[in-house]
Amino acid sequence: MIFEKLGLNFLSSRFRKRAWMNSIAIIASFSLVGCGGGEKEEAPAESVSGEGGASLEEAKAYYAEHPEFFTFATPEDIPADIDWEDSSDLPEFASPEAKRGGILFDWQLSYPRTLRVIGPDSNSAFRRYLLDDYGFRVVQPHPNVPGKYYPALAEAWHIDWENKRVYFKLDPKATYSDGVKVTADDYLFMFYFMQQSFHQEPWSTNWYRIGETYTNITKYDDYTISIDVKEAKPDIFRLFEEDVRPVPSHHYKVYDENFTEMYQWTFEPTTGPYVVLPDDVKKGRSIAVTRLDKWWGDDKRFLRNRFNFDKRVFKTIRDMDKALEAFKKGELDFFGLTLPEFWHLKLPNDAQEVQNGYIHKIKFYTEKPRPNWGIWMNKSKPLLDNHDVRVGIAYALNLDLAIDQVFRGDYERANSWGEGYGEYQNKDIKARPFDIDLAMESFAKAGFTKRGPDGILMREDGTRLSIELTNGRPNLRDFVTILKEDAQKAGLEIRIKDLDLMTAFKQMQEKNHEMAVTAYNVSVELYPRFFDFYHSYNALTPDGDPKPTTNNLTITAYPEWDEMIDRYRESNDLEEIKEISLKLQELIHEDAAFIPAFKTTYYRVGLWRWMRYPEGFDTRVSDSWDQFGIMWMDPEVKEETMSAMRRGETFEPVIETFDQYHSTN
Amino acid sequence: MRDYFLRRILLIPPTLIGVTMIVFAITRFVPGGPFERMMMTAQMAAAEGGGGGGGASRGAALSEEQIENMKAYFGLDKPWYVAYVHWLGKVVQGDLGTSNIYNDSVWSMIAERLKVSFFYGGLTLIITYGVCVPLGVVKAIKHMSFTDNITSIVIFSGYAVPGYVLGSLLVVYPAARWEWFPMDGFVSYDFEYMTFWEQVKDLFHHAVLPLSCYLIGSFAFVTLLMKNHLLENLAADYVRTAVAKGVSFKRAVFKHALRNSLIPIATNFGQNFTIFVTGSFLIESIFDIDGLGLLGYTSTLERDYPIVMGVLLISSVFMLVGNLVGDALVALADPRVRFK
């Protein structure tokens, strides 16, 4: 039956079971059948020739116009004494026991908006499966050894610190999914591609602009390149792990102002193992990625024994509760349970599926920088421009209680700005606790000495201690309400402004907020970035007004901080970087315009019994159980489980915590 | 009467212009357009428990020129009235524009979903009138009988439960727990591989639960409208006179009273046109049915304004045409009615 063919076995049995229902359908009118037909998508024509189109010709002309950036050399120009590195001393992190095969059923809250990996709406949750997790760069960060990199599209590399240059020997085996070889030309084309603005992603245009981050790319032969960077920092590979990837010119034959529309639903040939087949794009309903039978990386060290599923099907389920029901039925193979209500209430340990041993519950601690969830205060606003008021507010917010009540104590109180950066985090900093006396003492220093009839503190001139708190997250509404209630005890009135996320974001971007509860994304990096958030360049316009569309939400503009941040950005000395990082975090704490709120140091997931994983479950640095593709499924265990379920047999329940990477920072 | 309908038809374009102009202007002034959406997705952390991360921004500071270019890309660089005239000009030529997010033609996106809305709207219409009108007649004839009381209890209970609440219950119990029906979708994932009869079965198997939600509310309204007006007419002098003159009760009901009782039903009939096209976004959300209601809802949330405008235009046209049809039906059903 077609279900089995598609791997939809669960549907097959159910369909047979429901034969009695089918009689209802006989009243159907013939014409109605036409209503359900899902039209097949037009298959994007894939080039296997590897020949470039007009865009490549334009790129070549561009190279000629910018010889300072695009250099063509010969193998003889490579220094003879070069010492190639290949990280061969690093351990592999996938399990040799992993088995290939099976269809993984997954879900997404909304359908991907595009298959482009760049441009408007490309930065969606689905891009992981097109590029971020399933595509490769020259080197990839080793998930078990922070700060180390393993070769992916490169075989080896050499860093010339003096000339701020990195040489890459590319792996000649590497091909795109359409069979075309990945060569040095694709990296040159990438810089041309990104430096234009046709992709409509101005941040990328800025990042790749000549001289901004990278200053030169040199092709020595088809498989050897070097790239010069503006700042050769100790974490230099950060500039390569995400942002230097080959772009197939043979795919983007035309590259002009119609780029976003033209490539909206075409799959860019990938260097990774999974492709999106045209028939698997069922808009609004489901999308799937399919494993290549023969992938160039199958036997490559650090890539082998990974990406084990033959296919991964993503159903669109627009409601988390409904997705959980689908998971409990076995229609989905796993389900994220990090949210406390799901872990404790909706799939508790005593749930039948868990107690019967069909579904395993896993909690895995992971080390990585944490999103900076906190209360961000706008110092350009009255009252918040007063340091004593800010310190008082920090003492007046009962964040521990809010975490306990709303997150069931599962999340931890964050202590500082820059959590999860290992030795670059200032662990001496402890967040100010909820303390009414200290809060009132601080408010008194700011002139708020008497209580009004409603219990809110006032100055002699009648100014009330009343601050607005913007929230754009529905799931934080109870959280901010608890803060508001307890702050009143310290004489602080918090006026909660619940907005939808987009409106809240706009308000913050325009710097019209007073206080806001929010967080920014953070990459897995060696040390935190301060420039975006704390440099006066991002705080004020030349006229001295708060600068819109920047991340400096606190409007911090201190010359002495600027000097430190500039030095921090320019430094090549890890000790100096560490010293400045710790000092800046201390200053941020003292400044009290950012109140750290909460963090999670783990993720939780429910897995059906047939899912298998390496010893220790996952890697030291990971966002989710599937990020590095090291899991697999066992079809025999699946059959055993399904048959046991039919017969009512049970297994030992598995509720496991892996805390080998539990850091206490 | 001809002049009246001609006038009504001629009023449709200015009404549409008024409605669309207001909404178009609002979309320009509410915060969070496509440009901000793009910035936000690039920078903000996911709220789910403070986990997530990844994809940090490359710095948000853009030049004025870049910001202006982005606004031009999304068509936000012109004053709203200029942009509106531009939009209207394209609409007149049959072009509803392109989705800001999906880059697909708005018309094709709407057309793809219209069939879903027509299916549910059509079936709701057929079942509602096919069941409720006869039921109303039976209830009127058998007023205060056991049948009347029992059906009243049933339909009032249904009326008290909002369709989306019923939907939530149905999706959990008959669908998820008892596995009698599919949990979601208009059809199965492998629909295109089925034979014709399998497709028919599959379509209706999926339709049972959502259709129940669509029907539950409208049942009580139409049934009682029918019953009450029929009762009223049966008690009227002209029916009693007819019966007194020897006309059989059956003939009195079906020949005399029923026709007059259908007038209020006809008056409300035009409103169905809206349901026909827009459906219920809540029911479509619950059952993950990609219909026009869900499209309108998600496009509003996602600030995909070309789609918002397209859905608004289509539903407005149907609403205006529906009202017109309602009037025409009243005129047909009641010869006394003369629109001027």
User: Is the Cβ–Cβ distance between A392 and A436 less than 8 Å?
Assistant: no
With a CB cutoff of 8 Å and minimum separation 6, the contacts of A134 are A128, A270, A272, A273, A274, A289, A307, A629
Query: Quick check: B276 pLDDT over 80?
Result: no
CB < 8 Å to A503, chain B: 30-32
Distance between CA atoms of B281 and B270, rounded to whole angstroms? Answer: 20
Question: In which band, very low, low, confident or very high, does the pLDDT at B338 lie, cut at 50, 70 and 90?
Answer: low
Please, which residues bridge with residue A225 across strands? A168, A219
pLDDT of residue B51: 37
Distance between CA atoms of A367 and A147, rounded to whole angstroms? Answer: 13
CB < 8 Å to B190, chain A: 2-3, 6, 8, 11
- Best of A113, A230, A403 to disrupt the B interface (most B CBs within 10 Å) is A113
Token pair of B287 as six digits: 């059952």
CB < 8 Å to B283, chain A: none
Number of helical H runs and strand E runs in chain B: 15, 0
**CB within 8 Å: B303 and A502:** yes
Question: To which residue do tokens 């706009």 refer?
Answer: A506
User: Is the Cβ–Cβ distance between A141 and A524 less than 8 Å?
Assistant: yes
Beta strands in A452-585 (DSSP E): 457-458, 466-471, 493-498, 515-518
Kindly give the pairing relationship between strand A311-316 and strand A655-658. unpaired
Per mean pLDDT, which of A326-340, B108-122, B181-195, B231-245 is the most reliable?
A326-340
CB < 8 Å to B100, chain A: 120
**CB within 8 Å: B40 and A22:** no
Quick one: which of A540, A587, A546, A545 has its CA closest to A565? A587
**CB within 8 Å: B191 and A38:** yes
**CB within 8 Å: B171 and A325:** yes
Rounded to 5 degrees, what are φ and ψ at A334?
A: -150, 165
DSSP string, A590-616: HHTSEEE-EE--EEEEEEETTEE--TT
Number of helical H runs and strand E runs in chain A: 21, 27
Q: How many CA atoms lie within 13 A of A121 on its CB side?
A: 22
In CATH terms, A374-599 corresponds, of 3.40.640.10, 3.10.105.10, 2.40.50.1070, 3.30.1520.10, to 3.10.105.10
Which candidate from B31, B55, B104 shows the least CB-CB separation from A123?
B55
**CB within 8 Å: B186 and A524:** no
pLDDT of residue A14: 40
Which candidate from A8, A197, A520 shows the least CB-CB separation from B45?
A520
- Best of A6, A103, A116, A322 to disrupt the B interface (most B CBs within 10 Å) is A322
Other beta carbons within 10 angstroms of residue A91's beta carbon come to 9
ipTM: 0.81
Query: Quick check: B73 pLDDT over 60?
Result: yes
CB < 8 Å to A598, chain B: 50
Please, which residues bridge with residue A389 across strands? none
Chain A nearest-CA distance from B79, in A, is 20
Token pair of A127 as six digits: 């891009």
**CB within 8 Å: B204 and A11:** no
Token pair of B258 as six digits: 């029923």
User: Is the Cβ–Cβ distance between A70 and A195 less than 8 Å?
Assistant: no
User: Is the Cβ–Cβ distance between B216 and B166 less than 8 Å?
Assistant: yes
pLDDT of residue A45: 40
Question: To which residue do tokens 């038809």 refer?
Answer: B9
Rounded to 5 degrees, what are φ and ψ at A386?
A: -100, 120
Signed CA dihedral, A146, A149, A152, A153: sign only: positive
Other beta carbons within 10 angstroms of residue A654's beta carbon come to 14
Q: Quick one: closest CA in B to A341, which residue?
A: B49
- Best of B201, B202, B283, B292 to disrupt the A interface (most A CBs within 10 Å) is B201
Quick one: which of A248, A71, A247 has its CA closest to A165? A71
Residue B96, helix vs strand vs coil = coil
Distance between CA atoms of B21 and B14, rounded to whole angstroms? Answer: 10
**CB within 8 Å: A203 and B53:** no
Chain A nearest-CA distance from B7, in A, is 36
Chain B nearest-CA distance from A162, in A, is 26
CB < 8 Å to B303, chain A: 502
**CB within 8 Å: B44 and A520:** yes
Mean pLDDT of B108-121: 89
Judged by average pLDDT, the poorest of A269-273, B102-106, B123-127 is B123-127
Strand arrangement of the beta sheet that strand A154-160 belongs to: A70-72, A214-221, A224-229, A165-170, A154-160
CB < 8 Å to A3, chain B: 190
Question: To which residue do tokens 């019966």 refer?
Answer: B243
**CB within 8 Å: A411 and B187:** no
**CB within 8 Å: A27 and B204:** yes
Distance between CA atoms of B323 and A271, rounded to whole angstroms? Answer: 58
Distance between CA atoms of A649 and B146, rounded to whole angstroms? Answer: 49
CB < 8 Å to B202, chain A: 25, 36
pLDDT of residue B240: 86
CB < 8 Å to B43, chain A: 520-521, 551
**CB within 8 Å: B190 and A27:** no
- Best of B27, B28, B40 to disrupt the A interface (most A CBs within 10 Å) is B40
Q: What pLDDT, in 10s, does the model give residues A5-60?
A: 444 443 444 434 443 334 333 333 333 333 333 333 333 343 445 677 889 999 99
Rounded to 5 degrees, what are φ and ψ at A555?
A: 50, 55
Query: Quick check: B339 pLDDT over 70?
Result: no
Quick one: which of A364, A336, A275, A265 has its CA closest to A106? A336
* Largest interatomic CA distance in chain A: 84
**CB within 8 Å: B286 and A319:** yes
The H or E element that residue A166 is part of is strand A165-170
With a CB cutoff of 8 Å and minimum separation 6, the contacts of A296 are A171, A173, A174, A175, A271
Distance between CA atoms of B40 and B36, rounded to whole angstroms? Answer: 6
Q: What pLDDT, in 10s, does the model give residues A475-527?
A: 899 999 999 999 999 999 999 999 988 889 889 988 999 999 999 877 777 88
Which candidate from B43, B58, B203 shows the least CB-CB separation from A206?
B58
Token pair of A349 as six digits: 């340990």
Token pair of A61 as six digits: 């002309």
Strand arrangement of the beta sheet that strand A655-658 belongs to: A334-336, A602-608, A359-365, A655-658
CB < 8 Å to A370, chain B: 50, 53
Mean pLDDT of chain B: 84
**Residue ranges matching CATH 3.10.105.10 in chain A:** 374-599
User: Is the Cβ–Cβ distance between B126 and A31 less than 8 Å?
Assistant: no
User: Is the Cβ–Cβ distance between B20 and B88 less than 8 Å?
Assistant: yes
Distance between CA atoms of A210 and A230, rounded to whole angstroms? Answer: 10
User: Is the Cβ–Cβ distance between A236 and A166 less than 8 Å?
Assistant: yes
**CB within 8 Å: A207 and B37:** no
Which candidate from A25, A551, A603 shows the least CB-CB separation from B60?
A551
Give the per-residue SS3 of A72-114: ECCHHHCCCCCCCECCCCCCCCCCCCCCCCCEEEEEECCCCCC
Mean pLDDT of chain A: 90
CB < 8 Å to B200, chain A: 25-26, 28, 30, 32-33
Residue A137, helix vs strand vs coil = coil
- Best of B28, B71, B170, B204 to disrupt the A interface (most A CBs within 10 Å) is B204
Rounded to 5 degrees, what are φ and ψ at A312?
A: -130, 115
Token pair of B239 as six digits: 């029916």
CA-CA-CA-CA torsion for A579, A584, A585, A586, nearest 10 degrees?
Answer: 90
- Phi/psi region, residue A586 (left: phi>0; alpha: psi -120 to 50; beta: rest), is alpha
Token pair of A34 as six digits: 């036409």
Quick one: which of A350, A193, A329, A318 has its CA closest to A268? A193
pTM over 0.80: yes
**CB within 8 Å: A200 and B70:** yes
pLDDT of residue A52: 75
pLDDT of residue A302: 96
Q: What pLDDT, in 10s, does the model give residues B170-212?
A: 988 999 888 899 988 888 888 888 899 999 999 999 999 999 9
Signed CA dihedral, A109, B294, A505, A550: sign only: positive
Q: Quick one: closest CA in A to B187, which residue?
A: A36
Residue A561, helix vs strand vs coil = helix
With a CB cutoff of 8 Å and minimum separation 6, the contacts of A415 are A427, A429, A430, A431, A596, A665
Beta strands in A174-328 (DSSP E): 214-221, 224-229, 274-275, 281-282, 286-291, 311-316
Which candidate from B54, B177, B194 shows the least CB-CB separation from A521?
B54
Chain A nearest-CA distance from B196, in A, is 8
User: Is the Cβ–Cβ distance between A139 and A616 less than 8 Å?
Assistant: no
Question: In which band, very low, low, confident or very high, does the pLDDT at B30 lie, cut at 50, 70 and 90?
Answer: confident
Q: What pLDDT, in 10s, does the model give residues A87-132?
A: 999 999 999 999 999 999 999 988 999 999 999 888 888 999 999 8
Token pair of B185 as six digits: 């979708």
Indicate the DSSP class of residue A545: S
**CB within 8 Å: A32 and B288:** no
Quick one: which of A56, A325, A476, A261 has its CA closest to B102? A261
Distance between CA atoms of A176 and A179, rounded to whole angstroms? Answer: 5
With vertex at residue A209, the alpha carbon angle to CA A207 and CA A214, rounded to the nearest 5 degrees, is: 75
pLDDT of residue B45: 62
CB pairs A-B closer than 8 Å: 259
Listed as ranges, residues in chain A with pLDDT below 70 are 1-50, 664-665
CB < 8 Å to A328, chain B: 176
Query: Quick check: B116 pLDDT over 70?
Result: yes
Mean pLDDT of B49-77: 67
Q: For chain A, what percent of residues have pLDDT higher than 90?
A: 77
**Residue ranges matching CATH 3.90.76.10 in chain A:** 54-95+133-261
Domain A54-95+133-261 CATH assignment equals 3.40.50.300: no
**CB within 8 Å: B54 and A623:** yes
pLDDT of residue B270: 72
Give the type of residue at A603.
Y
Query: Quick check: B55 pLDDT over 50?
Result: no
